[in-house]
A = this chain, B = another copy of it.
Amino acid sequence: MSQSQSERFTIASECEAEIEDIGGGLKRQMLGYNQELMAVKIWFSEGAIGYNHAHRHSQVTYVVEGEFHFNIDGVTKIMKAGDSCMIPPYADHGATCLTGGILIDTFSPPREDFLEEGALEKPNDKFIDKSSGQVFNKDNC
């Protein structure tokens, strides 16, 4: 795996993409990331709560399964499969899932706290070859 982005494909039948138990009835799997984007899948068991919090990252969340009571900046809505929401930077948000369910959470910038230390190098340390899309360390140029 490149130090600064995930593998190209995360195929369930080819590899055991790690599903991490993050406690409180929640599990998380990394879908993909690089220096500017990240997507993760979150499983909520019945009654699990994503407690209210806020962060600098922009977030869009999509409901794959289940019914969530989702709040953003004090406004609560019931979200079901196919629904989505946009969470601006620093907006307070949280969710309760009475039914059990699955969310796709996407972030920009990526959540460094979801990765091992050093997995993301700072964009300033790299440049992208526009013809190939390859990412290089400045030190190697």
Contacts and interface: CB of A to CB of B under 8 A. Distances in A.
A128 interface: yes
Contacts of A106: 37, 39, 60, 106
B133 A84 contact: no
Interface of A: 5-14, 31-39, 41, 54, 56, 58-60, 62, 64, 70, 72-73, 75, 77-80, 82-91, 104, 106-109, 128-133, 135
28 contacts: A5-B88, A6-B86, A9-B70, A9-B75, A9-B79, A9-B84, A10-B85, A10-B86, A11-B83, A31-B60, A32-B84, A32-B86, A33-B60, A33-B86, A36-B58, A37-B58, A37-B106, A39-B62, A39-B106, A41-B62, A41-B82, A54-B133, A64-B64, A73-B133, A88-B128, A89-B130, A90-B131, A108-B109
